[in-house]
Amino acid sequence: MKKIVLIGLLVVAIMFLGIGCASYNPRTGIPDVKTFQETGIKAVNAEAGITIIAYPIQTKEDADMYFDNTSLAKDGLLPVYVNVSVSDIGINKNYRVDSILLRVENRNISTIPADEAYKLIKKSWFGKSSFWWFFGAYIGAPISAIHTNSVNNKIKEDLEKKVAKEGEIKKEGVSGFLYFRIPDDLKSLDDSFLVFALADKDSKNLTVKLPLKGAITAK
């Protein structure tokens, strides 16, 4: 009789696993720059042969689409898609990206690596596992914990694949997401800037500023 009850609880746990466990189903890969040609912020320096397009992921809709998380900003993460392309003039100058900063509320915020971004948005297994320990009589919890760990691995891998890498700008350009850690009470990007520090083969510096704007609703 006891075995029958345990089997029954296991079946119920498996049936409701989708309700109690995490998931991660964003649009994978680095988006094509054409996606943001019209909606992104664009800066062109024809003399240097540099074109930059940026698009912050600040709305619930975009956060859900690209990171399957409508509360990214509340978790402290602001991803910004960037594309840095070079013309033949820029290629000949061998530009490299030295640094990229987010200038907001009179302070500079540096980019963070993918593993730090992951720590901000990874799924917590404790609450869900506690539920399953109670509901599944010690059966559902291990299943839930394994599933959550699998989802977290997907999140980490996705963030790493999407990150934009600083360094020399090749002919194909630089494309991907920058990750910034922001305070969860930041409500708007109005009067904020992305500041790109570039340098050429002769160590001549070039600074490009892109103005950002709009409410942050991914909370």
pLDDT in tens, 97-119: 989 999 998 899 999 999 999 99
Q: Which two tokens stand for residue 55?
A: 């698009």
The closest of 129, 132, 130 to 149, measured between CA atoms, is 129
Burial annotation 87-106 (CB, 10 A radius, 16+ → b, else e)? eeebeebebebeebbbbbee
> Average pLDDT in the 48-70 region?
96
Is the sign of the CA dihedral 155, 160, 162, 166 positive or negative?
Answer: positive
Of 60 and 147, more confident:
60
- How, if at all, do strands 167-168 and 174-181 pair? unpaired
pLDDT on residue 6: 46
Contact between 184 and 73 (Cβ < 8 Å) = yes
By the 8 A CB rule, do 175 and 106 touch? no
**pLDDT value at residue 126:** 54
pLDDT of residue 176: 97
Give the rounded percent of residues in the chain with a pLDDT score beyond 70: 79
Instruction: Calculate the average pLDDT of the chain.
Output: 85
| pLDDT grade for 1, boundaries at 50, 70 and 90 | low
What mean pLDDT is predicted for residues 173-187? Answer: 94
Question: Measured between alpha carbons, how far is 60 from 155 in angstroms, rounded to an integer?
Answer: 18
Band (pLDDT 50/70/90 cuts) for residue 145 is: low
Average pLDDT over residues 85-93: 87
